[in-house]
Amino acid sequence: MTNFRGFSKPVLLIDFESTGFVKNAHGDVVDPGEPTQLGGVLLHAKTLVEEKSFLSDIQADAGKLDPWVLEHTDITPEKLANAPIRKEVAEKFLDEFGTDLYLASWNVTFDRAWLDLLMQAVSRRGTMYDYHHIDVWSLAYAYLCQHGRADVVRSEDTFQLFGQSARAAHNALDDSRRTAEILRAVLFDTGIQS
């Protein structure tokens, strides 16, 4: 894809952290938890250079925090208790970026569902965004398959294969920036590390 000429609108890469999923004995998700952090980076439509960024914790029920979340993110019960409510986060997010853009994320299904929930707090519908979304995992996986690496499916493994350092802790803004790096690498065909 070395002939990439840009998108028709800026691209907003988003990432959410959450309290964690609650699964039943069969492994089915019975409670998706609550969003706890939102990060985003707005990329220029043609160059994919970061133009703006956003990071906010989101008030949530600390009693729902999965032990994995406490171990692998920078979320704490104290941060959740003092975080802005969903309405405040949604208003700031809309003020910062508007809606005339394409949404993208590592896992667009997951992040889009959380964004729709967040927008409900300000009585807005997710349909205010263009319905064309960019799922960066899908693009990256297709790229990896073209290069003989169909075995790489997890985000951490993908990030490292594209030359990124290991994550110290999951953070929504850091993950958005890491995803932006992958998007640029795939679209500009800058390659993967051997």
Indicate the pTM of the whole model. 0.91
Kindly report the backbone phi and psi dihedral angles of residue 42, in degrees, each rounded to the nearest multiple of 5, phi listed first.
-95, 125
> Looking at the chain, how many residues does it have?
194
φ and ψ at residue 22, rounded to 5 degrees: -105, 125
Expressed in angstroms, the distance from the first to the final Cα of the chain is: 19
Cβ atoms < 10 Å from Cβ of 155? 19
How many whole angstroms separate alpha carbon 40 and alpha carbon 14? 4
Residue 2: predicted pLDDT: 63
Domain ranges of the chain: 11-187
Over the chain (194 residues), the average pLDDT of each successive run of 10 is 86 94 71 89 97 97 88 90 96 96 95 92 84 95 96 94 91 96 95 74
**For residue 40, what are the CA distances in angstroms to 11, 63, 64, 96, 103?**
10, 26, 24, 10, 10
- Cβ(61)–Cβ(33) below 8 Å: no
Choose the CATH number for 11-187 among 3.20.20.80, 3.40.50.150, 3.90.1150.10, 3.30.420.10: 3.30.420.10
pLDDT of residue 1: 46
pLDDT of amino acid 126: 65
Q: What are phi and psi of 130, to 5 degrees?
A: -55, 135
What is the rounded distance in angstroms from the CA atom of residue 63 to the CA atom of residue 46? 44
